[in-house]
Each structure stands twice: as C-alpha cells, then as structure tokens.
C-alpha cells in the first residue's frame, strides 16, 4: 500500500496480467485512490498498459467505473479486478472496432485526429496574418475556425496529429506579423490552450473558416454546435478577465 495522507485516503497500484485476443498477455497497471468515505464514494481509477492504446485504457477505465457504481457502498476493488480479468477481451474488442472505423475515416492516418486551440494576443498586420493562417490550414488539410471576438483571437484546428504539430512549428517559427515599427516578426504572444485527441462527441469541421463574432454568446454557440461546450467554458471565459 502507498499512503498519501495529504490526499486523504489510500492509493495503491495493482499490476495484473490478462490473456488477450491474440493470446498475448496484456499487463494492466491499475491505480486506485480510495477516498476517506469509500466505499460510499467511488474510487478514482487510472488504467495504463503498454499493450493498449490510450483510447483503450480510457475505455477500460470507463467500464470499471460503470461496474463500480453497481457495487457502491460495498468494498469493490477485488470485484473490479476480477471483472476486468474476465471482460478485458470484450472491452478491447469493442474499442478496436470503433478505433478501426475512426481510422479508416481519417484515411488510415497513423496518428489519429487531433484538435488544437490557440490564443493569439494581437494581429497588427491582420489581413496578411489571416491569409497566412488560411494557407497553412489548407496545405496541411486542417479544418476549423479562426475566431475574432472583441480583442480575443482564437484558432481552433482539427486534423491529423502530425499536421497539427507541423502547424504549431510554422506558427512559432515563421514571420507572421509585424512589430510596432512595421518590421516582420515571429509570433511571440501565442498560447496553446488545449491540444487533445478528438472524441466521439466532438463534431468535425468540414472547412477552415475565418469568423467574427460580436458577442460572447455567438462565440459560445460556435463551440456548442461543434460539441465543444466544455472546451469553451474551460478556456474562453478566463481570457476575458
């Protein structure tokens, strides 16, 4: 047992080996954190495995939490471990089919579909800057939005992870704007608000568009339509402060 008194509760790791689809062993590393009022409160669970993708680990974790809810108010860790040993195969089978479908959709890209949300402090040479961003997005086959709302400038991009990484390099290393004396300069005031894998509830943008919003509500609607309400509420309101 590993005790973390300051976290109030107990955390411990368990490693189990499970026979998998192709009869290879999958080594699962489970971390349980039992809050003080466990078992009337669900434990925190994290799942890691070198043999599974991140999406599959998340899927196993979600399924374990579903099981945990069924055993609420009774000690459950032992039951959860037995359950995962018996059902890992089915969980992985399901998530593999979903994963393969997703991958064929993104033209079998090696690295899955990612999303990036950037915040820019300002654009002095706006027209030129916008053109550059549009050109990069089109070259790298990225979709999304360049959004202006009052003083807020956001770039939301979706596409292959490698293209997103390439975009970031361009954005940081190219002379995209001009400084106060009109000399070309690199973007130094950019922050990456979020870089994440696209989840099933996120809608994909078909195009890359530049849009101006006159109110925060309009901007929020754009995010909501794309299934990105949480992304909006987490990252955009703090920019207004």
CATH number of the domain bearing residue 136: 3.30.70.100
Contacts of 111 by beta carbon, 8 Å cutoff, 6+ apart: 160, 161, 162
Asked if the model's pLDDT at residue 4 lies above 60, the reply is no
Asked if the model's pLDDT at residue 158 lies above 90, the reply is yes
Contact 141, 160 (CB under 8 A): yes
Strands (DSSP E) along the chain, which ranges? 2-3, 9-19, 25-35, 44-48, 113-120, 143-149, 152-160, 175-178, 184-186, 190-197, 208-213
What pTM does this model have?
0.54
Give the model confidence (pLDDT) of 11-62 as tens digits: 888 888 887 655 567 888 999 888 888 888 888 999 998 888 888 898 999 9
Q: Which of 96, 131, 159 is the last residue of a domain?
A: 96
Q: Which of 39, 61, 96 is the last residue of a domain?
A: 96
Whether 104 is covered by a domain: the verdict is: no
Residues 192-214, mean pLDDT to the nearest whole number: 87
In this structure, are 231 and 145 located in the same domain?
A: yes
In this structure, are 92 and 119 located in the same domain?
A: no
**Least confident span in 11-15, 104-108, 114-118:** 104-108
Whether 22 is covered by a domain: the verdict is: yes
In this structure, are 79 and 29 located in the same domain?
A: yes
In this structure, are 160 and 223 located in the same domain?
A: yes
With vertex at residue 195, the alpha carbon angle to CA 190 and CA 198, rounded to the nearest 5 degrees, is 140
In this structure, are 117 and 92 located in the same domain?
A: no
Long-range contact pairs involving 57-66 (C-beta distance under 8 Å, separation at least 24):
59/91, 59/92, 59/94, 59/95, 60/28, 60/84, 60/88, 60/91, 60/92, 63/87, 63/91
Whether 35 is covered by a domain: the verdict is: yes
User: What is the signed CA dihedral for 121, 127, 129, 131, rounded to 10 degrees?
Assistant: 140
Contact 198, 204 (CB under 8 A): yes
Q: Domain span at residue 53?
A: 10-96
Domain count, the chain: 2
Give the model confidence (pLDDT) of 117-154 as tens digits: 999 989 998 999 999 999 999 999 999 999 999 999 99
In this structure, are 92 and 118 located in the same domain?
A: no
Give the model confidence (pLDDT) of 62-97 as tens digits: 999 999 999 998 889 889 999 998 888 888 776 555
Contact 42, 68 (CB under 8 A): yes
User: 54 φ, ψ to 5°?
Assistant: -60, -40
Please report, for the domain that includes residue 53, its CATH number: 3.10.110.10
In this structure, are 143 and 235 located in the same domain?
A: yes
């Amino acid at each position: 047992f590993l005790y973390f008194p300051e976290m109030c509760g107990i955390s411990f790791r368990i490693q189990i080996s499970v026979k998998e689809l192709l009869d290879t062993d999958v080594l699962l590393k489970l971390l349980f954190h039992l809050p003080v009022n466990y078992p009337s409160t669900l434990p925190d669970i994290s799942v890691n495995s070198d043999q599974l993708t991140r999406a599959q680990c998340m899927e196993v974790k979600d399924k374990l939490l579903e099981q945990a809810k069924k055993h609420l108010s009774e000690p459950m860790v032992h039951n959860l471990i037995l359950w995962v040993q018996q059902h890992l195969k089915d969980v992985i089978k399901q998530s593999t089919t979903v994963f393969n479908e997703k991958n064929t959709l993104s033209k079998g890209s090696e690295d899955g579909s990612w999303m990036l949300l950037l915040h820019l402090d300002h654009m002095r040479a706006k027209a030129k800057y916008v053109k550059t961003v549009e050109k990069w997005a089109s070259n790298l086959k990225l979709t999304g939005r360049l959004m202006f709302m009052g003083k807020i400038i956001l770039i939301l991009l979706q596409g292959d992870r490698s293209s997103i990484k390439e975009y970031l390099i361009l954005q940081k290393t190219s002379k995209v704007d001009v400084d106060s004396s009109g000399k070309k300069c690199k973007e130094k005031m950019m922050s990456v608000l979020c870089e994440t894998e696209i989840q099933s509830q996120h809608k994909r943008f078909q195009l890359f568009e530049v849009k101006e919003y006159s109110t925060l509500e309009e901007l929020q609607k754009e995010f909501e339509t794309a299934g990105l309400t949480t992304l909006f509420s987490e990252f955009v309101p703090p920019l207004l402060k």
